[in-house]
Each structure stands twice: as C-alpha cells, then as structure tokens.
C-alpha cells in the first residue's frame, strides 16, 4: 500500500506541474482528491490493514493529501499569474497614437436668437408657455374674434386635418393667448414660441412652416404706452440701443387698436436699399391692445383688466440678428452655412 501511495504521489505531482489551464487543474483535483478519486479509493482500503500498520499509513496518506493540495494551490496561482501577464501583453495601448477627432455640433442660429429673446423676457418677469401645433379652429380663429368668413380660414390658406374644418395646423401662435389665460388666469405676462403652418410656396421670404413668438400681458391699467415701452426696450436690446422703430396702424381681429412695428433698416439707415426693398424700414412684428371680446371669452372682465399682445416672426428675428438674406438657408441645414455661426 505504501508503494501504491508513492506512485500516486509521484504521478499526481508531475501531472499538476504540467497543467496549462485552470480546467485541467480542476480535472486533476477531482481525479486524485475527489470523492471517487484515486487517493480516496486507496484510503478506503485502510480497513484491510493490521492495527499496527494503520496509524503509520494514515499519517502517510494525510501527508500525501496535504502535499497534493499545496501543489494544486501553487499551480493555480502560477496559472493565474501567467494568464494576467498574457492579458496585459495583449491589451497594450499605445498612448502616443493621435486620437480620433469628434465633430461637435452647436446650436442652430435661429435657436441662438430664440434663447437671447427668451432671456430678455425672462428678465422682465415673463413666463414661457408651450402649446400644441395641432389646434382647434376654435382657438386658432373663433376665440380670437376671427369672423367665419375671414380669408385666413380658407382651405387654400390653412392646413385642415378634418373635413369639418374643426382641427388644423395652427396658422399662428396667437391661440396661446387664449390657452394661457384659460390655464393661468390673469394677471399674466407670457411669451410662447413655436411652429406655425400656412399653405405658402417656398421662396426667399416664405415657407409653409415657420416660427412665431407670441406675447401677452394682461393686468389692471395696461395701456398702449406699456405696449410701446416694452416692445421698444426689447427691440433695442436685440438690435442695439440706437435702433429706431415705427408703429403703424393695422388690423388684427383679436386686438383693438392694432399696429405693425417696423425697425429702421440696419443696412442703409433708412435711406432705402435692396435689403429693405427701398422702404428704409423693415416690418418686425404685429401687436395691439387685446380686444375686449377676447378677454371676455376667457372669463376676464375688460372693464377691470386690459392688456397688449404681440407676435414676432422668429426667422425674421434671426435673419436680422445674423444678417441672413434668404429664409431657405435657415431650413436647409447646409453645414457650410450653419458652421458660420
Ligand atoms: N398672429 C399674427 C399673425 O400671424 C401676429 C400678431 C399680431 C400677433 C398682433 C399678436 C398681435 O399677438 O397682437 O400675423
């Protein structure tokens, strides 16, 4: 039995030091030390030995087991270290190779203009409202005091989404005056930027989709002087402190009185040039005192409250701000154009 033990010991040790993987090593552990392993099988035969031989053989067997366990452990550590070395060698990184350049985008010039605009109004205590582009004709027209036979309601001008002309793509951000008063109540100071849609052919100044920024102020004692003062302050903030403005009478169904606001041409200083089409002035926005019917429709008493509203064209604002001559450039998203801002 002693010889058998020594044979197992020799063979096992040789096999262990020759292993090249953890799986192989585990196989050997099972083969020699496992429940059905060779050493275990041999130990089961101890019963056959004489009582004198038994303690000596027992001691020897334990010694062999301990030796094999130690050998397994140190081989396992050696294999781990080897695997780590190989991994490190394979994953070497050359930190001196130049990196790949990531092309970073930046804000579209129209949104730069919009952010500047929002900042000006936030500083004056206005809130910003967001509203739906798919709108009810009721909000886009009726509640804005627009008569049933108004030309803007024509199917040739407006994108309707239902046969009964009740749902449409909003043609202006003005319905947000109604929504804001209904949701928020008065007093209110708000602006609401967003997309609007009209059946227009694309050219240098038209697009079937464009952006407006609506504004509304309602409080006790608001007058035309507040309208002029506020809009002049905003325009001078955007276009420079020397900018001259002109308020021209106009008509909008939802304001009374109504006006259009022009700014003196920044190119020619008012003499007349191609940019202002010889006029000396460039139209900047529509505005007016909120019509009493509109206030009443929103549950606001026009004998107590009054207000003014205005609507800027965002593209026009950005074109003036960045001296862009053609509206199409704003929508085409040609990188060579956008990268200039
Ligand atoms: N919604 C008008 C348009 O699209 C612009 C406008 C005019 C808005 C007067 C207003 C306003 O709030 O008071 O032509």
Judge if the beta carbon of residue 255 lies within 6 A of ligand 1.
yes
Q: Considering the chain, what percentage of its residues have pLDDT values greater than 90?
A: 61
pTM of the model: 0.72
CA of residue 234 to ligand 1 center, whole Å: 17
Judge if the beta carbon of residue 314 lies within 6 A of ligand 1.
no
Judge if the beta carbon of residue 239 lies within 6 A of ligand 1.
no
pLDDT over 90 (residue 137)? yes
pLDDT over 90 (residue 92)? no
CA of residue 309 to ligand 1 center, whole Å: 8
190 contacts 156 by C-beta, under 8 angstroms:
no
42 contacts 1 by C-beta, under 8 angstroms:
yes
Q: By C-alpha distance, which of 135, 128, 270 is closest to 193?
A: 128
Contacts with 38 (C-beta within 8 Å, 6 or more apart), sequence order: 8, 12, 31, 32
Q: Tell me how far apart the alpha carbons of residues 15 and 130 are, in angstroms, rounded to a whole number.
A: 76
Judge if the beta carbon of residue 287 lies within 6 A of ligand 1.
yes
pLDDT of residue 226: 98
pLDDT of residue 103: 85
Note the residue count of the chain.
341
Judge if the beta carbon of residue 307 lies within 6 A of ligand 1.
no
DSSP H helix total and E strand total for the chain:
12, 9
List the residue whose alpha carbon is closest to atom 2 of ligand 1.
Answer: 311
- Ligand 1 mutation target, pool 287, 289, 292, 295, most atoms within 8 A of CB: 287
CA of residue 229 to ligand 1 center, whole Å: 18
CA of residue 78 to ligand 1 center, whole Å: 81
pLDDT digits (tens, 9 = 90+) for 39-87: 888 778 888 888 888 888 888 888 888 888 888 899 899 889 988 988 8
Count of CA atoms in the C-beta half-sphere (13 A) of 25: 20
DSSP element (H, E) containing 40: helix 38-44
Per-residue pLDDT band at 281 (split at 50, 70, 90): very high
Q: Report residue 321 as tokens.
A: 């701000």
Contacts with 101 (C-beta within 8 Å, 6 or more apart), sequence order: none
Judge if the beta carbon of residue 217 lies within 6 A of ligand 1.
no
pLDDT over 90 (residue 219)? yes
């Amino acid at each position: 039995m002693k010889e058998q033990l020594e044979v197992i010991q020799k063979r096992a040790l040789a096999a262990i030091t020759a292993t090249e993987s953890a799986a192989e090593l585990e196989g050997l552990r099972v083969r020699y030390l496992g429940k059905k392993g060779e050493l275990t099988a041999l130990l089961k035969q101890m019963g056959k030995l004489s009582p004198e031989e038994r303690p000596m053989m027992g001691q020897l067997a334990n010694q062999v087991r301990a030796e094999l366990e130690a050998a397994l452990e140190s081989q396992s550590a050696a294999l781990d270290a080897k695997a780590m070395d190989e991994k490190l060698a394979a994953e070497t990184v050359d930190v001196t190779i130049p990196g790949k350049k990531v092309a970073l985008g930046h804000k579209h010039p129209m949104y730069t203009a919009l952010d500047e605009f929002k900042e000006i109004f936030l500083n004056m205590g206005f809130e910003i409202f967001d509203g739906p582009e798919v709108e009810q004709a009721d909000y886009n027209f009726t509640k804005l005091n627009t008569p049933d036979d108004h030309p803007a309601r024509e199917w040739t001008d407006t994108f309707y989404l239902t046969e009964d002309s009740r749902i449409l793509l909003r043609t202006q951000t003005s319905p947000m005056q109604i929504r804001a008063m209904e949701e928020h109540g008065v007093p209110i100071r708000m602006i609401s930027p967003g997309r609007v849609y009209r059946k227009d052919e694309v050219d240098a100044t038209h697009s079937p989709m464009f952006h407006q920024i609506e504004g509304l102020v309602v409080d006790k004692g608001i007058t035309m002087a507040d309208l002029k003062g506020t809009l002049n302050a905003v325009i001078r903030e955007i276009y420079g402190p020397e900018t001259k403005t002109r308020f021209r009478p106009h008509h909008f169904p939802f304001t009374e009185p109504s006006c259009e606001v022009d700014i003196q041409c920044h190119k020619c200083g008012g003499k007349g040039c191609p940019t202002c089409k010889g006029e000396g002035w460039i139209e900047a926005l529509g505005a007016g005192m909120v019509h009493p019917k509109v206030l009443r429709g929103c549950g606001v008493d026009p004998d107590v409250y009054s207000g003014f509203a205005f609507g800027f064209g965002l593209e026009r604002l950005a074109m003036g701000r960045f001296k862009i001559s053609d509206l199409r450039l704003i929508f085409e998203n040609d990188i060579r154009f956008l990268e200039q801002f």
